[in-house]
Amino acid sequence: MLLLLPFYGLAQQSPVLSLDTILNRIDKNNLLLQSYGLKAESYKHSAKAATAWMAPMVGVGTFMTPYPGQQLMDDRDKGSLMLQLEQDIPNPVKLKANKRYIESKAKVENETRGITLNEYRAQAKRLYFGWLVAAQKINVLQQNEKIMQTMKKIEEIRYPYNQSKLGSVYKTAAKLEENNNMIRMQEGDIAKARAWLNSLMNSSGNAIFAIDTNYKPLFVPAAKIDTASLALARNDIKKMDYNIQSMQLNIEAMKKQSRPDFRLRFDHMSPLTKMMPKAFSIMGMVSIPIAPWSAKMYKSEAKGMAYEIEAMSKEKAAMLQETQGMLYGMQFEIQSMQKRIDALEHKIIPSLQKTLDVNFLSYRENKMELPQVIDSWEALTMMQTNVLDEKLKLYLMIADYEKELYR
Spatial CB neighbours of 202, under 8 Å, sequence gap ≥ 6: 25, 29, 30, 31
For residue 10, the model assigns a pLDDT of 44
State pLDDT tens for residues 305-347.
Answer: 888 888 988 888 888 888 888 888 888 999 999 999 999 888 8
Q: How far is it, in rounded angstroms, from Cα 15 to Cα 179?
A: 28
Q: How far is it, in rounded angstroms, from Cα 253 to Cα 266?
A: 31
Do 120 and 24 touch, CB atoms closer than 8 A? no
Q: Is the pTM of this model over 0.85?
A: no
Do 109 and 98 touch, CB atoms closer than 8 A? no
Q: How far is it, in rounded angstroms, from Cα 92 to Cα 103?
A: 16
Buried residues in 201-234 as b, exposed as e (16+ CB within 10 A): beeeeeeeeebeeeeebebeebeebeeeebbeeb
Do 284 and 262 touch, CB atoms closer than 8 A? yes
Q: How far is it, in rounded angstroms, from Cα 337 to Cα 322?
A: 23
For residue 196, the model assigns a pLDDT of 92
Pairing of strands 210-211, 16-17: parallel
For residue 9, the model assigns a pLDDT of 47
For the 13-64+77-405 domain, the top CATH level (class) is: mainly alpha
CA distances, 67 to each of 62, 84, 93, 375 (Å)? 11, 21, 47, 113
Cα torsion angle, 124, 129, 131, 132, sign: positive
Burial zone of 133 (CB within 10 Å; 0-12 exposed, 13-18 middle, 19+ buried): buried
Cα torsion angle, 221, 223, 228, 229, sign: negative
Task: Provide φ and ψ at 160, rounded to 5°.
Answer: -60, -20
CA atoms within 13 A on the CB side of 81: 5
Burial zone of 376 (CB within 10 Å; 0-12 exposed, 13-18 middle, 19+ buried): buried
For residue 5, the model assigns a pLDDT of 54
Q: How far is it, in rounded angstroms, from Cα 241 to Cα 218?
A: 32
pLDDT 10s per residue in the chain (407 long)?
666 555 544 445 778 889 999 999 998 998 888 898 888 888 888 888 888 888 889 999 988 888 887 777 777 778 888 999 999 888 888 888 888 888 888 888 888 888 889 899 999 999 999 999 999 999 998 888 887 788 777 777 666 655 556 666 677 788 888 888 988 999 999 999 999 999 999 888 788 989 888 888 888 887 777 788 878 888 888 888 888 888 888 888 888 888 888 899 999 988 887 777 888 889 988 888 777 777 777 778 888 888 888 898 888 888 888 888 888 888 899 999 999 999 988 889 889 889 888 888 887 777 777 788 888 888 888 998 999 999 999 999 999 988 888 76
Do 97 and 256 touch, CB atoms closer than 8 A? yes
Other C-beta atoms closer than 10 Å to the C-beta of 102 total 21
Buried residues in 175-186 as b, exposed as e (16+ CB within 10 A): beeebeebbeeb
Q: How far is it, in rounded angstroms, from Cα 17 to Cα 131?
A: 12
For residue 249, the model assigns a pLDDT of 87
DSSP symbols for 227-248: HHHHHHH-HHHHHHHHHHHHHH
Spatial CB neighbours of 362, under 8 Å, sequence gap ≥ 6: 368
For residue 126, the model assigns a pLDDT of 93
**Among the listed residues 92, 42, 44, the one whose alpha carbon sits nearest the alpha carbon of residue 253:** 92
Spatial CB neighbours of 197, under 8 Å, sequence gap ≥ 6: 22, 124, 127, 128
Looking at residue 19, what DSSP letter applies? H
